[in-house]
Structure 1
């Protein structure tokens, strides 16, 4: 049987061609580009795991701090949090994994954290690091996670140690390190683990000889440089203020109401975008469009929002506050302006005001992620009113967006209101130049009041 040479494993399929926005930086950027790229982009590595027929079975997801294709991990928990945050809320599960499983390295700290439940058990395998020592409390936690549907893999096994024997009854998969395992003990190790009914992965397979040996010994899955080196995927960095995330967590901790949560999230356009990615992930399977921030909060649930905020805190790593980005500031101010304008012309239509705010938030997201509006918005399942307003400037919401753009650039927004359709002209006529100037000032003051946070 023949295998594809290293680096030639085909990528998984991507809906809406979202993969076009991803970049493989390992070959595209040299050493000199890394500092600048690292400030603008986030990265995830993925290495294929193949079955006995050479077909792609899964990916191991790896921390990458830059375009350089190797890991510099100083904090296991933070590295794992960044991998999960970037896979789910940044690049997207479908773009990173396609239809395949994702193996995620995880240490003791995150095993006990509620954050682990952000990962869908049917998509992610928890790969416990070799540095973890197992005790009764951890064994109980692993049993709990398995009952929740997670599969447990043991990483970098090279001998039948007491630590391994303690956890073996509670694991599903064992990865045997072909570089570290004594070849004289390899056959016995593999036979013993197979007798316990474990799925065996031969990892760090670097030669055809090692691959042939692993097949002979009955290994089920294979990973290593012989098949493919890790690929590095990236997307533009999304920054979230630690202070705003902590404030959000404080609200959640005291069971704040929907109104308070909505007000807090409105000040954080970047977190809103990631919340929409989360709520429209396959874990929820809503089968309907999200048309307001309040609806997204209700659909997600406060517990999932808390998990996500915690994950972003873990993954922060001391990044510069996102509010320093002028595009984010513009998105926040525009969203508030549109909300105020919507309330001005339809004072009794909260749904229209909610949709106006989200339209403003997402009207510039494609610039932040370096894509096009349709490619950025399609995975988020926004309501047609919002999507059509942003992509085609259609309907009353599209007119309101054009007015917001003109007002933000000190152009004649009043002429746009006059040029709206006949059925909308009467209500838009209420947006006189004086009103628009007042709303613009109020929006800037509203967003600016939170910059000091």
Structure 2
């Protein structure tokens, strides 16, 4: 990989012979308590994502198909289509990040019938993603109406693993933009007529499972537009350190959105769950509705995403979480939550009438440890989150008032009262309000505050 090779996203091992990612069996979405990932989350400290190039007639990269991977082995191991796609979405947008996964190219994402009808599909920006309808989805009236609705919303629709011009496919072709023809399942004698019929309807033709040069040259002669298969490249496996979100926090968040609460209530709930805030910021900065300026408060993140998108994201995380561990079991998350509230309380003590300063202090506390959680550097992590300059400089360099407040918070966490008071004296001005007794009280309040929510 070229523009995304880093410690947080790098190719792993070659695919096993015979791996065919588009042949997953059909299954329905189970109840949340019954969801079982292909590999138990505790088995790997990382999350994995496969991507396979889709090339044009000249051999240039056109797009990637994004594939579920349960571990470093380059195998699909899909037991539930909806769960696999949900994990592909969260890993692409919430952990690895769209720029690292796709660069400037489009991403093809597999869609089961369940996810086609689920509102969370709208988390995928239509200008970056193609919805690839799996081969076992039946083209009944409800599905066709849904496909028409999604196309009106700007999505391109691809049909996967086509091998014959059936009556169902003829009926569905007007609702598709792209048709992927499976060379492994289509006889050579039937291929010319099938390609000609699809091309006559004005659809983009993709030859998939291209295994040899002869396959490529033959399908190109038949007029295929794009090509995918082991002849060009086996799927790469990208990985990122696992970042977990509290399932109870997500349920609470969904309940608040369903109750049509205001921004203030959503902001209050999100403050209790720093892990969800991390995901929200990544979502905002990975999507079409990303703000045109850096984010400097949690309220701005909520406003940028909107309650509808926050609900979709929380629902998607629930789909993808399986039996993941709660945030309360992660000491780094506990520290980030306690620190963020300590800094918010300290900022209010320094400037009681400056709500923006308190918001920025809270955000600084949360993101001061995010680079550790995601296994990256502060500069790289902050660049992907799009935070304001004041917060970025505080986290990466401990500069400015927020940076000094972060240094005081770290000293207080370590119980180093002498260092804390030395920093307060060095800062001077309004920082002198942070007396030793007050710092002790703030530490206790922050710990008690986070512990009240840590059972999520």
TM-score, normalised by the number of residues in structure 1:
0.92
Among residues 65, 70, 76, which one is paired with 1:65 in the alignment? 70
- Does 2:397 match 1:380? no
1:27 & 1:417 partners in 2: Cα distance? 55
8 Å contact from structure 1 (residues 37, 67) kept in 2: no
Among residues 134, 150, 153, which one is paired with 1:129 in the alignment? 134
Among residues 82, 86, 91, which one is paired with 2:87 in the alignment? 82
Residue of structure 2 in register with 1:416 after alignment: 423
Alpha-carbon offset, residue 286 of structure 1? 2.3
Among residues 268, 274, 283, which one is paired with 2:273 in the alignment? 268
| Unaligned runs of at least 5 residues, structure 1 | 1-10, 29-33
- Does 2:312 match 1:307? yes
Count how many residue pairs are aligned between Structure 1 and Structure 2: 431
Secondary structure in 2 aligned to 1:318? coil
1:21 & 1:128 partners in 2: Cα distance? 29
Secondary structure in 1 aligned to 2:13? helix
- Does 2:250 match 1:245? yes
Residue of structure 2 in register with 1:172 after alignment: 177
Residue of structure 2 in register with 1:23 after alignment: 10
Among residues 437, 440, 443, which one is paired with 2:443 in the alignment? 440
- Does 2:42 match 1:42? no
Secondary structure in 2 aligned to 1:280? helix
Alpha-carbon offset, residue 274 of structure 1? 1.5
1:306 & 1:335 partners in 2: Cα distance? 24
Residue of structure 1 in register with 2:374 after alignment: 369
8 Å contact from structure 2 (residues 55, 62) kept in 1: yes
1:406 & 1:190 partners in 2: Cα distance? 68
Among residues 89, 93, 100, which one is paired with 2:98 in the alignment? 93
Alpha-carbon offset, residue 437 of structure 1? 0.8
8 Å contact from structure 1 (residues 37, 66) kept in 2: no
**Matching of residues 168-247 of structure 1 within 5 Å:** 168-247=173-252
Stretch deviating more after TM superposition (244-253 or 321-330): 321-330
Among residues 354, 357, 364, which one is paired with 1:352 in the alignment? 357
1:449 & 1:36 partners in 2: Cα distance? 26
2:271 & 2:14 partners in 1: Cα distance? 39
Change (3 A) 1:27 1:418: farther
1:166 & 1:403 partners in 2: Cα distance? 67
2:210 & 2:9 partners in 1: Cα distance? 28
Change (3 A) 1:35 1:23: farther
Residue of structure 2 in register with 1:6 after alignment: none
Secondary structure in 1 aligned to 2:65? strand
2:80 & 2:312 partners in 1: Cα distance? 19
For residues 220-246 of structure 1, the C-alpha deviation after alignment (integer angstroms, 9 at most, x for no partner) is 100000000000001111111111100
Alpha-carbon offset, residue 96 of structure 1? 0.3
Residue of structure 2 in register with 1:8 after alignment: none
Alpha-carbon offset, residue 35 of structure 1? 8.3
For residues 133-177 of structure 1, the C-alpha deviation after alignment (integer angstroms, 9 at most, x for no partner) is 111111111001001111100000011122212211111111010
8 Å contact from structure 1 (residues 291, 382) kept in 2: yes
Among residues 163, 168, 180, which one is paired with 1:163 in the alignment? 168
8 Å contact from structure 1 (residues 50, 57) kept in 2: yes
Runs of 4+ in 1 over 2 A off after TM superposition: 11-14, 18-21, 34-39
Secondary structure in 1 aligned to 2:44? helix
Secondary structure in 1 aligned to 2:158? strand
- Does 2:397 match 1:427? no
2:86 & 2:42 partners in 1: Cα distance? 20
Residue of structure 1 in register with 2:107 after alignment: 102
8 Å contact from structure 2 (residues 246, 275) kept in 1: no
1:322 & 1:163 partners in 2: Cα distance? 47
TM-score, normalised by the number of residues in structure 2:
0.92
Among residues 5, 9, 13, which one is paired with 2:3 in the alignment? 13
Alpha-carbon offset, residue 426 of structure 1? 2.8
1:181 & 1:136 partners in 2: Cα distance? 27
8 Å contact from structure 1 (residues 115, 307) kept in 2: yes
2:260 & 2:290 partners in 1: Cα distance? 25
Secondary structure in 2 aligned to 1:25? coil
Residue of structure 2 in register with 1:31 after alignment: none
Alpha-carbon offset, residue 393 of structure 1? 0.8
